[in-house]
A and B are shown apart, each in its own frame.
Chain A
Amino acid sequence: MNIPDNLRYTPDHEWVSLEDNVVTVGITDHAQEELSDVVFVELPSVGQVVGSGDEVGTVESVKAASPIYAALGGEVVAINTELEGDPSVINSSPYGEGWIFKVRLEDAGDLDELLDSGAYEDLIN
């Protein structure tokens, strides 16, 4: 199970990476494996203001629809439109090309609430 050390995680099986004050969010390797074939992704909108924990989209497999949550509060500044044409990228590259959206943080302090790779690994075991 791939759980990169340089990322942070939420209990909802999302990963977060930070650059300047913009975070990139996606779902973890564990999450994509549980879902299996991702066939559709509903993305938030660029410009959308989100609160930490808000449901902002959906990742769907053949058998299930899984909500995507805003891990942190702020404004959505980018969405991965490639997922509209090829949702399976989330399965093949959950931490790379399968990134889902980016948020400009309102409060960098929220980052402290996230799990590190060790804590996330404990959670899924």
Chain B
Amino acid sequence: MSGELKETPLREVHLELGGRMVGFAGWDMPIRYGSILEEHQAVREAAGVFDISHMGQFFVEGGEAVDWLDGLLTNNVDNLEEGKGHYTFLLNDKGGIIDDLILYRLQGESFLLVVNAAKSAEDFAWLKAYNKEGVVALQDRSEEMAGIAVQGPRATDVYFRMMGGRTLPGRNGVDEFEMEGQRILVCRTGYTGEDGFELFCGVGGGAHWFRSTLDDGARACGLGARDSLRLEMCYPLNGSDLSPERTPLEAGLGFFVDLEKESFVGREALAAQKSNGLTERLAAVKCLEPGPPIRPGCAVLDREGHELGRLTSGTLSPSLGVGIGLAYLPWEAARVGAALAVEVRGRMIPAEVVKKPFYKKA
């Protein structure tokens, strides 16, 4: 393997717990500690904790921050209340996705952007290039920060216990406070479809908070479970389901794009795409019978055997017991109910397009 993998501040804990480490986005991360299926189930039924220290954290401050961010991100920053976060995109001028991220409005003209590990450097360079006159105070604090995500129906319990009786902010809310001499940011967000929170703190505190969650009822979960959890929810993964060649509209995520905004990078391209009509869209493909796991790259065909596209994501759904995946398909072929097949090593598994998400709570 070329290049050295970066290590998160939680590495010791992962190794102690028997984490199987793999390279992901340039970081040495635990793919699982034991059984991926059990870790997945722990999140759906109780609480799981993930190391998310590899993600990027940028801070934007100043009187011009709202306008500046509104000019660079797709969602409406002006409407974002203090103490809240929203999902948004950073686009290139063709409307293609550089990154998907969550923007949080903190107290007093201060914003936090949490971005994907794989794109962190590229995102920051892009933002810096749009801040040459220093219109806003822009800082990349990723290297100083650790992050953990606790997800599951019991996440609120875990929080209450580890934080000595605190309650979480409301859905999509962000709280900032000092605890045991450390500055903590807690966001009621996640990537699993369950209730939960993401906690960011200084690198020195990461292992402590991770261990606290284990003591207070969370199970350590790795990237394997993280992938099957997010895919059951049809949450896209940048680099797989999203890319600079795809727009949020094709991905079915127009809800997070405010075309009414006067201008933002990529706006014209999206407006044109919308008015011309999309030729392809990202469809949720569900296998109709058990079979070999479907994986990214598998061909998706119509029932006559014509290839329509390839899976950008694919896995066995632990909750549903069949293969699930995402694929960009021609507009008509992507309608809910369309009959398909997914090819795995020459075998055709019957499948169909379903409404998103794959997994719904009972």
Contact = CB atoms under 8 A, between A and B. Distances in A.
Interface of A: 36-37, 39-40, 42, 58, 60-63, 65
Contacts of B35: 36-37
Contact of A37 (B36, B290, B291): B36
A39 B293 contact: yes
Given A36-B32, A36-B35, A37-B37, A62 B292 contact: no
A62 B228 contact: yes
A36 B34 CA distance: 7
B240 to A, nearest CB: 14
Interface residues of B, number: 16
Interface string B312-330: 0001101000000000000
A63 B292 contact: no
A31 B318 CA distance: 22
A40 B291 contact: yes
Contact of B224 (A40, A58, A60, A63): A63
Interface string B32-60: 10111100000000000000000000000
Nearest to A88: B37
Interface string B121-146: 00000000000000000000000000
B31 interface: yes
Interface of B: 31-32, 34-37, 224, 228, 290-293, 315-316, 318, 345
A13 to B, nearest CB: 16
B31 A60 contact: no
Contacts of A58: 292, 345
B292 A65 contact: yes
28 contacts: A36-B32, A36-B35, A36-B36, A37-B35, A37-B36, A37-B37, A39-B37, A39-B316, A40-B290, A40-B291, A40-B293, A42-B292, A42-B345, A58-B292, A58-B345, A60-B292, A60-B293, A61-B36, A62-B36, A62-B37, A62-B224, A62-B228, A62-B293, A62-B315, A62-B316, A62-B318, A63-B31, A63-B224
A39 B314 CA distance: 14
Q: Which residue of A36, A58, A62, A65 has the most chain B CB atoms within 10 A of its CB atom? A: A62
Contacts of A60: 292-293
Nearest to A37: B37
Contacts of B292: 40, 42, 58, 60, 65
